[in-house]
Structure formats: structure tokens, C-alpha cells
């Protein structure tokens, strides 16, 4: 595994300390969607291990090829692979960090400690049947990765770049339910882990997107005081 450089005391140009944030929640809870809308407002660098793995798969790298087997089966990619990948990414990071989909196990959370001081862990609370419906309705832009839902958008191309919308390889009902089970067994213990450190804030992720965004923004403003 690569060594990760300490990433503490990050400051924005106004001299205020940047927040380091984790978004926790089951697959399809809306972590990526909320991250996309709050990252600009709070100058956060969005670090999504799922997006990074999909980029590796698209580029046909050895890491991508080995990760694809795990992703398509709804399993977690081995932690040693994830830690090396995140370490490489953090070596280039310079702003406050928004982790989405990492850490996903207590082992990963321990690896993150001492590398980035976490200010808040936002858990998006959404039950299984809602996330399965969301995952089965999700479409993503094949070029820029923008996320859509067939429940709110009936176009076949991206509004931003015009590329076709596609279904993620792991977005079928069987894999979605498997991913939810893996989440309950391997990732949900992080809820207690971060609660015991006084960092956990739960947000109702079943609310309409705009309300979820507003609640997360209010939470960040409270923490940044």
C-alpha cells in the first residue's frame, strides 16, 4: 500500500478552514447527486471511489479489470486496492474533501484516520425498497457521468453534453439487492463507529432532492460556524 500524506489544516483563499466530509448511505441513497450540488458551494473536492473505479474500467486498466468482477457481482473491491487508489488521489488533493462511497468498512475508516481529519459524516437514510427503485430508474451520461432518473427525466441524451444516457452495469434489481445486503453487513457498522466519535449526522434521504440538499447545506453551515 502507498503511504498517504497527512491532509489536515486545508484552507480556502479566504483563510477559513475547509471541511472534510464523508457521505455515508446505501447504494442509490443519493450520495452522488447531493455531492454534485453541494461541492461547489462549499469548495469541496468530490472523491467518489465508485466514479474512480468506473474510470479505471473505462480506461481498461489492470485495476479496472480486476475491480469490474467485484462491482458487477455487487461485492466490495478489496480494501488494499481501494486504499492505494485513494492515496494516489489524495496526493493531488488541495481543497476540503467530500468522500462519497469511502470509507466503506471499518478497516477503510481506520486507514483514513490520521490522513484526513473528518469534520462530519452525513448518513443518508433510505430504506431498501426505495433505493432499489432508484437504482433501477437511474441513467447516467456515457460521457460526463451526470446522473438522471427516468422518474424525473424522460430524455435519452444528457442535457449538459448531449451524449447518450446509459444504464450502469451494476444497476439491475438482483445486484442492487445484493449491494444493499453488503451495505448492511459491511458498511452500516460505520454508522456506530462515527456516532461514537460524535461525527454522525443523519439526514432523511427519502425526501425530495431539493429538501435533502437544503438539509445538508444547513448542516454544513452549522458545522462551519
Please give the grid coordinates belonging to residue 225: 460556524
Q: Which of residues 79-118 bind ligand AP5 (CB under 6 A)?
A: 82, 101-102, 104, 108
Whether 179 is a known active-site residue: answer yes
Contact call for residue 145 and ligand AP5 (CB under 6 A): no
Select from 2-10, 13-21, 68-76, 215-223 the region that touches ligand AP5 (CB under 6 A).
Answer: 68-76
- 10 Å CB burial of residue 123 (0-12, 13-18, 19+) is buried
Check 138, 139, 201, 213 and give the catalytic one: 138
Q: What single string gives the DSSP state of each residue in the chain?
A: -PPPPPB---B-TTSPBPP-EEEE--TTSSHHHHHHHHTTTTTEEEEEHHHHHHHHHHHT-HHHHHHHHHHHTTPPPPHHHHHHHHHHHHTT--SEEEEES---SHHHHHHHTTTB---EEEEEE--HHHHHHHHHHEEEETTT--EEETTT---SB-TTT-PBEE--TT-SHHHHHHHHHHIIIIITHHHHHHHTTT-EEEEETTS-HHHHHHHHHHHHHHHH-
CB of 114 to ligand AP5, least distance (A): 18
Contact call for residue 147 and ligand AP5 (CB under 6 A): yes
Contact call for residue 71 and ligand AP5 (CB under 6 A): yes
Select from 5-13, 90-98, 129-137, 189-197 the region that touches ligand AP5 (CB under 6 A).
Answer: 129-137
Select from 10-18, 113-121, 142-150, 154-162 the region that touches ligand AP5 (CB under 6 A).
Answer: 142-150
CB of 58 to ligand AP5, least distance (A): 13
Whether 31 is a known active-site residue: answer yes
CB of 82 to ligand AP5, least distance (A): 4
Check 68, 89, 146, 168 and give the catalytic one: 168
Tell me which residues touch ligand AP5 (CB under 6 A): 25, 27-33, 49-50, 53, 70-71, 75-77, 82, 101-102, 104, 108, 134-135, 137-138, 147-149, 179, 208-209, 212
Amino acid at each position: 500500500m502507498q503511504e498517504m500524506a497527512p491532509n489536515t489544516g486545508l484552507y480556502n483563499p479566504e483563510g477559513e478552514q475547509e471541511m472534510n466530509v464523508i457521505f455515508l448511505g446505501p447504494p442509490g441513497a443519493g450520495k452522488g447527486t447531493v455531492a454534485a450540488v453541494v461541492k461547489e458551494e462549499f469548495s469541496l473536492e468530490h472523491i467518489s471511489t465508485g466514479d474512480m473505479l468506473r474510470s479505471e474500467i473505462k480506461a481498461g486498466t489492470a485495476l479496472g479489470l480486476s475491480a469490474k468482477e467485484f462491482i458487477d457481482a455487487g461485492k466490495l473491491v478489496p480494501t488494499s486496492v481501494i486504499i492505494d487508489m485513494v492515496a494516489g488521489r489524495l496526493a493531488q488533493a488541495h481543497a476540503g474533501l467530500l468522500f462519497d462511497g469511502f470509507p466503506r468498512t471499518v478497516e477503510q475508516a481506520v486507514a483514513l484516520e490520521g490522513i484526513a481529519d473528518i469534520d462530519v459524516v452525513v448518513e443518508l437514510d433510505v430504506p431498501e425498497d426505495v433505493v432499489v427503485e432508484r437504482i433501477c430508474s437511474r441513467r447516467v451520461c456515457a460521457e460526463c457521468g451526470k446522473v438522471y432518473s427516468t422518474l424525473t427525466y424522460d430524455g435519452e441524451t444528457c442535457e449538459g453534453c448531449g451524449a447518450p444516457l446509459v444504464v450502469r452495469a451494476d444497476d439491475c434489481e438482483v445486484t442492487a439487492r445484493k449491494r444493499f445486503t453488503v451495505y448492511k453487513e459491511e458498511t452500516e457498522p460505520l454508522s456506530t463507529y462515527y456516532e461514537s466519535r460524535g461525527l454522525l449526522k443523519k439526514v432523511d434521504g427519502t425526501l425530495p432532492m431539493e429538501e435533502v440538499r437544503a438539509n445538508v447545506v444547513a448542516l454544513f453551515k452549522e458545522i462551519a460556524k
